[in-house]
A and B are shown apart, each in its own frame.
Chain A
Amino acid sequence: QKEVEQNSGPLSVPEGAIASLNCTYSDRGSQSFFWYRQYSGKSPELIMFIYSNGDKEDGRFTAQLNKASQYVSLLIRDSQPSDSATYLCAVNKSGGYNKLIFGAGTRLAVHP
């Protein structure tokens, strides 16, 4: 089992729709969860982070965390073509390490 799993996609949604990106993780001790966006040929860019169970909203983005189910998701409302990118889920490694475990990413395609 991979430490952080994401559906590779592509996830195709029409412009204006809600895109839902999902991620599961295996380390029950993880406490910090991050979503990064990576455009083709560019480095990752931090979109959201969440530490507590529940929802966290920032503009069109909502991160959801359920530690009991070891599940974290990212919702993008009113999706735009400029949101088309690969979205990386990252989870901190427990045990005093200050490093992140990244999923392989979900490719999102928003079509007009």
Chain B
Amino acid sequence: GAVVSQHPSWVICKSGTSVKIECRSLDFQATTMFWYRQFPKQSLMLMATSNEGSKATYEQGVEKDKFLINHASLTLSTLTVTSAHPEDSSFYICSASPGSGQPQHFGDGTRLSIL
């Protein structure tokens, strides 16, 4: 149980393109979903916390207009990287939790490369 599906796995696109990443909890309802970014050989960095039906809460230093998050249902959250540039190239990982204090379960991640 506790499977989180994330798509796509890889994205390679030109600078200026907007990229949408989907995160789905397949066998549980996720009251909260999280979006992380990880650069090579660095630790996970939380970008934002997404609660179903409400606006996402962004961590300090993360541009909300750059990284648009939508959490339309209890099983789906999306992250859109708008007008992506090479510095946005990174490993983006979502996670989902059934409730407060419960484990977060991670998707397989999306490797984004902006040329």
Contacts and interface: CB of A to CB of B under 8 A. Distances in A.
Interface string B34-52: 1000000001101001000
A32, A43, A88, most chain B CB atoms within 10 A: A43
A98 B93 CA distance: 17
Contacts of A88: 43-44
B103 A34 contact: yes
A102 B43 contact: yes
Contacts of A45: 106
Nearest to A90: B104
Range, interface on chain B? 20 to 34
Interface in B1-55: 2, 6, 31-32, 34, 43-44, 46, 49
Nearest to B107: A43
A38 to B, nearest CB: 8
B77 interface: no
Main secondary structure of the interface of B (DSSP, over half): loop
A46 B34 contact: no
A100 interface: yes
Contacts of A34: 103-104
7 contacts: A31-B101, A32-B101, A43-B107, A51-B101, A99-B49, A100-B104, A102-B46
Given A90-B104, A98-B49, 12 more contacts: A31-B101, A36-B106, A42-B108, A43-B108, A43-B109, A44-B106, A46-B104, A92-B100, A98-B100, A99-B34, A99-B46, A100-B104
The 7 closest A-B pairs by CB, nearest first: A43-B109, A104-B43, A43-B106, A32-B101, A98-B100, A98-B32, A43-B93
